[in-house]
Structure 1
Amino acid sequence: MTVHFHEEDLPQGVLAPGPVAVDTETMGLMPGRDRLCLVQISDGGPDQHLVRFAPDSDFAAPNLKAVLADPARLKIYHFARFDLASIERYLGVEAGPVYCTKIASRLVRTYTDRHGLKELCREMLGQELSKQQQSSDWGAPEISEAQRDYAASDVRYLHALKEAFDVRLAREGRTAMAQACFDFLPMRARIDLAGWPDIDIFAHG
């Protein structure tokens, strides 16, 4: 298991074919305000790749963009809505098609209100994640080893979680419902970026 750290772009050809797990680290929780600092990506193998962007980055990243925009590659996220918005805002691509483990969790783990990645990995995979670096400075000149390990862990288990959720979604008869939600997520992220992040535009009144 190796964490590979790259500046400004993903090297060509480092990912195996097929679905990729994707996550982002930003300076805050508002994609229109808080810049993208790091993109984490994994092909489901033992290695994870981190791509760091400098404060003055032009976010060119042709290799990373090609992977993220590839319609033949499924992208697996946890809370895709946020990551999709950050990627579209700074990298200018729609990073789909989408699978979101948080949406899947909300649809089948209705016995709890705890849908964080840490809880999912503990219950469904028997893996303990540390969230100590979650609120650290991702725009710092140097990214610490602890930060790198934390960032890599956010994509390390997403393929396995997808497999587990696929079984539960089928068991509960909610596979089609989940897929419809996943298909809508790029537009939900675009609505957030357009200025309606906290307003339910479908609500009456």
Structure 2
Amino acid sequence: MLTARRTAALITAFLGTFLAQGPARAEPQASAGLTLGVAGTGTERHFWDTTLFHAGVRGDVLFGREGNDDFGVGPYAEVLTHAFDEIQLGAGVSALAPVFDLFPLVVSAGLYGRWSEDGGGLEPGVAAAVFWGLRSHNFHSSYGMSNGLLAQMRLGLGASGETAVVLAAQLDVAVLGLPFVLLVNALQGPSPEATPLRRADRAR
């Protein structure tokens, strides 16, 4: 039979072991990508009157994830244009659902402001988006790459009654920068560490 002293010692040992492990760390992870596609736009609440080229930059920071099978939530920000005759700035909240380990679903909702060439000043609006694609949790860095498909619904609240349905590909900025990194490395030539190895190969 356990005595009171032995029971207290066991509880103390258990708590000491548990506390020594420390809490699980869920580091925030950022991601940024270039969005390219089409936008079906309209005014006066008409949907898809005109098809325009869409281009933008979108980034977010997700909190609460420790691995690929965890949910995450955090803020996002974006800047975009349709046919380069307007600019829209937006921000809101994104939530990640691990539908598949490496291919999660990210849903977003937020507000935006729109400036256009047709005047009228700043027009506010609301936006909702769905992203699906490759976005794995990076266990070695606070940045996680994301590449996939983005669908948005944008509803202007200004006098123009502007609407837009956006269908785009989202390409991570890190992937887009790889060709420039390779080009710079090629122009710089081999590193000092590689030079002795090349000389040794030629000597053979």
Give the TM-score normalised by the residue count of structure 2: 0.25
Q: Which has the higher helix share?
A: 1
Q: Which has the higher strand share?
A: 2
Give the TM-score normalised by the residue count of structure 1: 0.25
User: Computing the radius of gyration over CA atoms, which structure comes out larger, 1 or 2?
Assistant: 2
